[in-house]
Each structure stands twice: as C-alpha cells, then as structure tokens.
Structure 1
Amino acid sequence: MITPTSSIPMFDHDELIQSHPVATLLIDKGGVVLFVNAAAEQLCNVSRSAMVGRVVYDVIGMDRSYRQRMNDPETSALFAHRAEITIGGRNSIFVDMQMVPYGQSGHRILALLPSQSEAELLGGAIGRSGRAAGAAASMLAHEIKNPLAGIKGAAQLLARNADANGERFTTLICAEVDRITTLIDQMEHFSRGQPIHCTPINLYPPIHQAMETVRARQLAGISFGEDFDPSLPLVHGNHDAMVQILLNLVTNACEVLAGRDDATVRIATAYRHGLSIDKGDGRGRIALPIEVSVSDNGPGVPADIRGDLFDPFVTTKREGRGLGLALVAKLARDMGGTVQHMRDGDWTRFRVHLPAARGSAAKGQQQ
C-alpha cells in the first residue's frame, strides 16, 4: 500500500511569526521580552536588540493595572479594547491588547493591534485639530450669547408698551433667542474636553426636577407612569447632568407621541445585579448596577438609523438638530456609565446604566 504524501509545504514558524503583520512579543512569566517580530519593532520604533531582555512595560508604557497583571505569573490571559500605551517614550496610541499563554513554561504571547480610528491613523492630527476647533467653538459661543442676551432684553422692554400685534412679534423674538441659546449650550457640551464633576448623589431629586419641568409644559394627552425602586444606593454622578439626560429622553418620548390617544411615558429605576462593562482603560470590568429607563409606546426608531442613534446630527425630526441623544450619551459616558436603546414589543426604551457611589451599600441609601 502506497502511503499518500501531503502536498502541504512545511513552514518555518519563526519566519511566519516574524513576517506576521500584527505586532507580536513573546514574554516570560516575569514579563521579560524574549522575542519580538518586525511589526513590533515598527510599532514601538525600537530595535529588537533594544527590547529583548527588558521587562515589557519598560519598553511599552502602560497603565499600572496592566503592568501588575503582566508581572503576575498567575495571569496567563488578558484582553483589553482601546488600551492606551506609550511608545518611544512619548508617543501615546490606543491598541487592542491580547495576551495568551504559550507552552508549558509560563511564557505568554502579547499581540498589539492599533485601534483603527481615523484620528489614530492620522497620527493624532484630527484629535489636535478637534480640540482646537472645540476651543474656538467655545469662544464663538461666548461671543454670540452676549448679544443674544441684549436682544432678548430689548424685546422684553418693547413688549411692555406694545399692542397685541407688537407683543406677538416680541414674543417670537424672545422664543427664537431662547432656541438659539439652547442650541449653543448643546454645542458647547461637545467642545468641552474636561470631564464633569461627579459626586455621590441621590438619583430621585434630578428625576423629580426633570419631571416637574416636563409637566409644566402641560402636554395634552400624555400620561406619565413611574416605577421606582426606593432602595437604590447613591449614584456616582452629577445632578445637573442627570436632569439634562432625563429632560432630553422624556421630551423626545413626548414629541413622538403627539396626537396618540393612548400616549404613555414611563420612568423607571432598578438595581441590576451583575451588569458591568470593560472600557479598555485597564481598570477591568466596572459594575453599572443602577438603571434609569424612559419608555414610550410610540412608533419606535426607524431601523436605518438605530446603529447611529447616539451620533451628533442624526435625527428623525423634520426640524430636529440631532444633538439631544448625542448629548445624553456624552453625559452618561462622562459619569462613567452608558446608555442603550432597545425596542421591546410595543415599547421603545432608553436605559441609562450608572455606577454606584463608592462605599454605598448595595441597597437602601435613597429615599
């Protein structure tokens, strides 16, 4: 019997790894670099001879938690999305980082794949120009809002002595000034790079403030329902940001329900055990047990924009600006949380998930 021979060629594994386009390093159980391929040399802009024999985080600057885990022989696997590392002693980039065990000696393979955002592909130029544009937008907003305040004040003075027809136009002027000011305020939120100040807060005062504001508009035909968990712990958040988030979500819900006979908006809170997220910043998974949801029984979001719903300037409204939900997402993110959209039967739900304040008991801190 003739044994068939394979036509598959034998590969030189060292050569294969060396030519692999993903930056790859072999490190021992103490984090010492044993091998690097050409892609790793190119990414780090450091020669192989200058990297081999050194501890990996002396070559590649990274968050303290990553250093600890790579120095721990018990940690054989690691994955981080958009982790920030420093290469060449000064250049900061974001990478998807993956470490897996190799062999029986505690060695590990570390792969670094640059995150493929446009800003990073352009070497950070977009990020720098974006920050410059943000600063210019803030300055421009300040210069616009000052004369707007004067215009509104003048219109209010004219209204005191105006007849009914004149009062109609001064009211229109004031309304348009308020509309433009609101638009500028929303745009300013996107131009501010610094995070908002967060402290332990009781979630219910901002909820009640937002609902009082909405009810004061006397929206006809809309009923509001509440389903609150009174025993939630304190939230790591910002009162004003929470008011803004809820105002935007509830206002959107009311607008899509206009004209419906059974229009209903529900506001609910809940404690979700086990809910967490890994933001890829080296802190591991962060618990987000606090949930605030706003639901409506309207027609829902069109399927073609659901994936871009929280991007600026995406809107279904004829005269909408597409900033409301983008602002909601930004504020939730600034507080360390997330916001999600889902269609649940006949209901459209927006769920904001937030971290509990440090030191708060699991339940029972809010009234």
Structure 2
Amino acid sequence: MNDKPRRSNPKDVPYQLMLSALPHPIVMIDRDGYVVAANDMAEFFFQTSAAVLAKQKLTTLLPFGSPVLALVDQARERLAPVNEYRVDISNPRIGIDKVVDVYAAPVQDRTGAVTLMLQERTIADKMDRQLTHRDSARSVTGLASMLGHEVKNPLSGIRGAAQLLESSVSDDDRALTRLITDETDRIVRLIDRMEVFSDQRPVEREAVNIHVVLDRVKKLAQAEFGDRIHFGEQYDPSLPFVHANQDQLVQVFLNLVKNAAEAVLEVPGPEIVLSTAFRPGIRIQVPGSTEKTSLPLEICVKDNGPGIPKEIEDCLFDPFVTSKTNGSGLGLALVAKLIGDHGGVIEYDGTGRQTIFRVMLPPSDMEL
C-alpha cells in the first residue's frame, strides 16, 4: 500500500485565488497596454472592478507621463524584471498622496505581456510614523512622573500661601493673589493630564461593538458642543466586534469628534461623518509580541474643515504639538497612546477638501 502523500499538480493550483490573497495591487498588461487581469487589491486600489479594469489601458489609470509606464516598457523590451521605489502616481481618479514601489516583470508564454505590482508606500510610512508616535508618548511618561512628584507639591504650597495672603491684602492686590491661585490650578490640571501617560497598566479589553461606541460619542457631542453640526454615518453593518476597552474608545473618538467640531466652526455647512469599514491586508507587529496582528477594522472621523497646517502634519501626534492658540498639545498624543495600547494605528489624512482621522484596530475573537 502506498502511503506517500499525494502532491498537487502545479497546473491544478488556482492562481487567481493565490493572487487575490496577496496584500498588494497586481495587474497584467498585454502588449497593447490593456489590463487583462487584476487581483482583489487592484480593484480596491483603483476603486473599480476587474471587469471594468480589463476594458481600459494602463495610461488611463495613471497620471500622464507616469514613470510606471516607462518601467512597463523596460520590462517588455529587456525581458527582465525592473523596479523603482517611491513613485508618485497621485491623480484625481485614485486619490492624492499615492506613492508606491513599482515592480514590473515580463510574463512567460505571453509575448509583450507584463505583470505589474504596486506596493503602496503610505502604508509602510504610516507604520514607521506610528512607531515614532509611540516612542514620543513613552518619552513624556518619565516627564509626567517627575512633574507629579517634583512640581505639584511646591504648587500646593504656593497656592496655599496665595490664599493666606488674599485675606490680608488690599482689594487691588487681591486680584494678584487670585491670579496666582488660578495659574497654579491651571498648571496642576495640565500635569494631571500628563500623568495619564505614566499609566502602564494592561488595558482591560473585551468584544466591543464599535457602532455602539460611535452612537454614544455622537449623542455626547450633539448634547455638549455639536448642536449646529450635521453628523453623517457611513457604517458597515457586518463589521465584527473590536477587541478593546469601551470607555477608552469613547474617550478616543470623543476627542477626535471634538477636534473636528472646533475645526468646522467657521465653515459653511459644517459636517462630521463617522464611518466604519473592513480593510483586509494591514498587519503590524504589536510591541511586546513577536506575532503580527491584523488590523482590518477601519473607523474614520471626517470633517469638512480647513485641515491641519502642513508644518505639523508629521509630528501631529507628538506631545505638546498643537495648532490651537490655547491648546496643550496633549489631546492627540493621548489618543495615539490609547490606540497604541490597543495594538492599533491612527493616521491623519488631509485631502484638501476633507480632513480624515483614520483608526485601524484588531478584531475580537470573542462572541457576545
């Protein structure tokens, strides 16, 4: 009896399924420049179906004179793979800030055909920036602990002395003693906010319905500061539960919605849109673990405000960075810390017409 395992014939392998499982857009271009095949990520990247893609030339999908077209020609002429890094292919059709690494290779048995793979650099860059955000949050942890011990105690003494003086000074000087107490109280509140960064306890998490969280945030926002703002919803009803702490998620998205509300104060027709979607293919290694975690749950807070100043975009989630006149610069840093504690990623995307804060989180494997 032959007990050897049966090996699959390579010709029986469903290559289309294999290509669709890859996290990068892949298309095949024929000798005339038409798309003849595309995987699932290519459909998502170009925002159209494979059937529609197959009727178009590559030149209609990319900007005029794109270096990608030259790479395809090189691969076809040399009969050898070629690649180029950080190619900007932004256009109105697929969106702005589209920077990709390009890999082009000739297809055997198909004269003039080329397979093209695009690796979106923004994803990799976002991962790098997210690690920087986490390092920045950790850097403020030691500062918060030091301030709590070395500054708050002397401030209490200063405030107490000012209160004692208030009862024995003239009315003119009493305004100064009140100024002292008010300013010490303000510093103490700032230190209290910073001390949140020194909380290193593990996050207690469970399966949470993100739509319940967003509905609560929306109601709180409408009651407290958003009564003149139109709130829109674009929810994916089939979204699985998120593995998270519900109270902390409420804090995160309430902070983002409040920032959005402040941004649209002077905008005609102020609007904030809350959206959810399932985006497969994003994986990141969580600190303290050797495993990579999938982050398919995307939650966005969008507004039609003027956006963030370009000069602070790259350090937006760092402590003490703010565009507000009276802001402390700790709100978004705290949001980044809480999302990082959940093993997730937060990113800002300013398109000129719309401001988007995008949160990506891991799903829960628990049932409710």
Alpha-carbon spacing, 1:325–1:236, altered in 2? closer, same or farther (3 Å) = same
Aligned length: 214
- Is 1:344–2:354 an aligned residue pair? no
- Is 1:244–2:254 an aligned residue pair? no
What is the identity, as a one-letter code, of the residue corresponding to 1:299?
Answer: P
- Is 1:278–2:263 an aligned residue pair? no
- Is 1:211–2:257 an aligned residue pair? no
Q: How much has 1:290 moved relative to structure 2?
A: 1.0
* Alignment deviations for residues 49-73 of structure 1 (CA, whole Å, 9 cap, x no partner): xxxxxxxxxxxxxxxxxxxxxxxxx
Q: How much has 1:302 moved relative to structure 2?
A: 1.1
Equivalent residue, structure 2, for 1:319:
326
Alpha-carbon spacing, 1:269–1:146, altered in 2? closer, same or farther (3 Å) = farther
TM-score normalised by L of structure 2: 0.50
Please tell me whether the aligned partners of residues 306 and 352 of structure 2 are also in contact (alpha carbons under 8 angstroms): no
> Can you give the 5+ residue segments of structure 2 that lack an aligned partner in the other structure?
1-136, 158-181
Alpha-carbon spacing, 1:131–1:212, altered in 2? closer, same or farther (3 Å) = closer
Query: Aligned runs of 1:120-199 on 2, under 5 Å?
Result: 133-138=143-148, 183-199=190-206
The CA distance in 1 between the partners of 2:233 and 2:343, in whole Å, is 25
Please tell me whether the aligned partners of residues 140 and 197 of structure 2 are also in contact (alpha carbons under 8 angstroms): no
What is the identity, as a one-letter code, of the residue corresponding to 1:135?
Answer: S
What is the identity, as a one-letter code, of the residue corresponding to 2:245?
Answer: N
Aligned-residue CA RMSD (Å): 3.7
The CA distance in 2 between the partners of 1:261 and 1:136, in whole Å, is 45
Q: How much has 1:142 moved relative to structure 2?
A: 8.3
The CA distance in 2 between the partners of 1:142 and 1:191, in whole Å, is 15
Q: Secondary structure at the match of 1:216?
A: helix
Q: Secondary structure at the match of 2:333?
A: helix
What is the identity, as a one-letter code, of the residue corresponding to 1:316?
Answer: S
The CA distance in 2 between the partners of 1:145 and 1:240, in whole Å, is 31
What is the identity, as a one-letter code, of the residue corresponding to 2:236?
Answer: D
Q: How much has 1:298 moved relative to structure 2?
A: 0.9
Q: How much has 1:133 moved relative to structure 2?
A: 4.5
* Alignment deviations for residues 213-240 of structure 1 (CA, whole Å, 9 cap, x no partner): 2111253542111111222212111111
Alpha-carbon spacing, 1:352–1:257, altered in 2? closer, same or farther (3 Å) = same
Please tell me whether the aligned partners of residues 282 and 295 of structure 2 are also in contact (alpha carbons under 8 angstroms): yes
* Alignment deviations for residues 109-157 of structure 1 (CA, whole Å, 9 cap, x no partner): xxxxxxxxxxxxxxxxxx999766543445579879999xxxxxxxxxx
- Structure 1 consecutive aligned stretches of length 4 or more whose deviation exceeds 3 Å: 127-147, 175-185, 218-221, 279-282
What is the identity, as a one-letter code, of the residue corresponding to 2:318?
Answer: D
Please tell me whether the aligned partners of residues 137 and 191 of structure 1 are also in contact (alpha carbons under 8 angstroms): no
Alpha-carbon spacing, 1:282–1:245, altered in 2? closer, same or farther (3 Å) = closer
Equivalent residue, structure 2, for 1:304:
311
Q: How much has 1:285 moved relative to structure 2?
A: 2.3
Q: Percent identity?
A: 40
> Can you give the 5+ residue segments of structure 1 that lack an aligned partner in the other structure?
1-126, 148-174
Please tell me whether the aligned partners of residues 263 and 298 of structure 1 are also in contact (alpha carbons under 8 angstroms): yes
Equivalent residue, structure 2, for 1:57:
none
Please tell me whether the aligned partners of residues 148 and 195 of structure 2 are also in contact (alpha carbons under 8 angstroms): yes
